[in-house]
Structure 1
Amino acid sequence: MDARITKAEAALLLPATTIPSRRLAEVEAIRLAAIAARDEAVADGVRRAGQAMLNAAEALVRALVTFPARIDTYRALRRLSDRELRDIGMTRFDIPRVFDPSFATRAANDSPQAPQRAA
């Protein structure tokens, strides 16, 4: 058995990139562009996940900071009589919903239970 390698066999062992080719250059450019696009997509996903986590943490901190004031307001409203609640345009059933964003946009004395006055 001969341990020598011929030139043809040695050429097969060399990497294909040593032979310059326009087609290989195009393939390499496409591969590098795909890698860059993948890295950008991964970075964007990580950025979005990080922003979502920061938003959640901010909402949690805001809820913890405003909790005592919300409890005080809730207890103060519970202590009011039905007449006093009606004067500010609320009912007993509105008290648990006082902190809903949609409730704050409702105009005073616009409750559906309030009787309509004749003009």
Structure 2
Amino acid sequence: MDARITKPEFDSAIPAAAVSMSSAQAVALEAMQIRDEAIGQWIRKAATAAFRAVIEFPRRRRIYDELSMLSDRELADIGLNRGDIPRVFEEKFEARARQAANGLPQGRAAAA
């Protein structure tokens, strides 16, 4: 006696399981595609940020060196002090400088 079950016998015996397995596989495939797309976007963003950092470095270094060569009085004339020089390139620094120039308190956002 042969204990093996043929494919037609299996399909006729458990048709609902075959359908649910294929839909489960479709859901798994869709989840993998979404995951792969998210990973691809993250890699593209990271590569773009790294490329921009490499391109921007000489300009940023030149500005840093020029600010460092200014006297304390010249820095005060433009609203900076020595401690501000490394922070000039922070994203929030420009917004805070604009707020200070407009006379707004540091905690409030400038009106757009």
Same fold by TM (over 0.5)?
Answer: yes
Contact in 2 for aligned 1:89/1:108 (Cα 8 Å): no
Q: Which has the higher contact order (CA 8 A, sep 6+)?
A: 1
Amino acid of the structure 2 residue aligned with 1:49: I
Aligned residues: 101
2:54 is matched with 64
1:30 is matched with 20
Q: Which runs of 5+ in 1 are unaligned?
A: 1-8, 112-119
Q: Is the aligned partner of 1:18 residue 2:9? A: yes
Q: Cα–Cα, structure 1 residues 28 and 87, in superposed 2: closer, same or farther, change >3 Å? A: same
Cα RMSD for the two superposed structures: 2.3
Question: What are the Cα deviations for residues 70-97 of structure 1, in whole angstroms up to 9, with x where unaligned?
Answer: 0110011101111111111111000001
Q: Which runs of 5+ in 2 are unaligned?
A: 102-112
Q: TM-score, normalised by structure 2?
A: 0.76
After the TM superposition, which segments of 4 or more aligned residues of structure 1 sit over 6 Å from their partners? none
Q: Give me the whole-angstrom Cα distance separating, in 1, the residues matched to 2:71 and 2:8.
A: 86
Q: Cα–Cα, structure 1 residues 15 and 72, in superposed 2: closer, same or farther, change >3 Å? A: same
1:43 is matched with 33
1:29 to partner: Cα distance: 1.3
From the CA coordinates, give the structure whose radius of gyration is larger. 1
Amino acid of the structure 1 residue aligned with 2:84: D
1:81 is matched with 71
Q: TM-score, normalised by structure 1?
A: 0.72
1:99 is matched with 89
Q: Cα–Cα, structure 1 residues 104 and 48, in superposed 2: closer, same or farther, change >3 Å? A: same
Q: Cα–Cα, structure 1 residues 37 and 50, in superposed 2: closer, same or farther, change >3 Å? A: same
